[in-house]
Amino acid sequence: MTAELLAHCTQLVFDEAACLDQRRWADWLALYADDAEYWVPAWTDEGRPTNDPQTELSLIYYNSKAGLEDRVWRIESGLSPASQPLDRTCHLITNIRLTNEDADQPVVAAHWQVNAYKPGKQRSFLYYGFYEHLLRRTPAGYRIAKKKTTLLNDVIEGVLDIYHI
């Protein structure tokens, strides 16, 4: 069961990255549970990220899928000047492993890197860090119940958005 579970979880993480790179926003949102938490902690110092999005600073935090839906709406509508023109991205994911093998709520950890290109400005950016996905089994398949993205290079030259990480 572990190999099969890892294969399902790995595919979901890869599908999420492909949706972001291909700007398939509706497909990306469909991977999330309605009550999903999406969190990118800030760093308290050089060696420790924040631990609680409710009481400490976060780079990005949404406590439900509704926040992600609002962000996608702004990107698609053109009402987000920081996203115009939209960066081109390429997500690379490696070292995927199960840290909790509960088939109903597996936890998947991974290392990631995103290369981003800003059209018009001829600038490229590199972001990298760690993912932790808590997945939930549903009748429709696994959905992301919680995603924590630890961004290791958190000095950002511009804007950090959902498609950068």
Tens digit of each residue's pLDDT (9 = 90 or more) over 41-66: 999 988 899 999 999 999 999 999 99
Q: What is the pLDDT of residue 50?
A: 94
**What's the farthest any 2 CA atoms get from each other in the chain?**
48
Q: What is the pLDDT of residue 158?
A: 75
Q: What is the pLDDT of residue 1?
A: 60
Identify the segments of the chain with pLDDT beneath 50.
Answer: none
Q: What is the pLDDT of residue 118?
A: 86
3-class DSSP assignment, residue 141: strand
Total length of the chain: 165
- Segment (H or E) for 63: none
- Architecture (CATH level 2) of domain 2-164: Roll (3.10)
**Structure tokens belonging to residue 146:** 């919680």
